[in-house]
């Protein structure tokens, strides 16, 4: 799976829910363990484990 990029759009099964505002890296494995999805409304965002991410695409 590709690594998620900051400001990438995030979609659930039925709609766009925001964008990647942060990536969290596991200090031991050096792999992205979570992404933080924000909706642009100034709220802190939702932390999503990479295990719950079904796909990462380049958007094309």
Which single residue is written with the structure tokens 């829910």? 17
Establish how many alpha carbons lie within 13 A of residue 13's alpha carbon, considering only the half-sphere containing its beta carbon: 1
- Residue 60: is its pLDDT beyond 60? no
Instruction: Output helix, strand, coil percentages for the chain, rounded to the nearest 5.
Output: 5, 40, 55
2-37 per-position pLDDT tens digit:
889 999 999 988 998 999 999 999 999 999 999 999
Q: Do residues 11 and 4 make contact, with C-beta atoms less than 8 angstroms apart?
A: no
Per DSSP, the three-state class of 3 is coil
Distance CA 29, CA 6 (A): 20
**Predicted TM-score of the model (pTM):** 0.83
Per DSSP, the three-state class of 38 is strand
């Amino acid at each position: 799976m590709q690594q998620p990029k900051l400001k990438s759009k995030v979609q659930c099964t039925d709609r766009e829910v925001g964008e990647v505002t942060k990536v969290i890296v596991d200090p031991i494995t050096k792999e992205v363990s979570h992404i933080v999805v924000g909706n642009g409304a100034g709220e802190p965002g939702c932390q999503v484990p990479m295990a719950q991410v079904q796909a990462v695409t380049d958007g094309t």
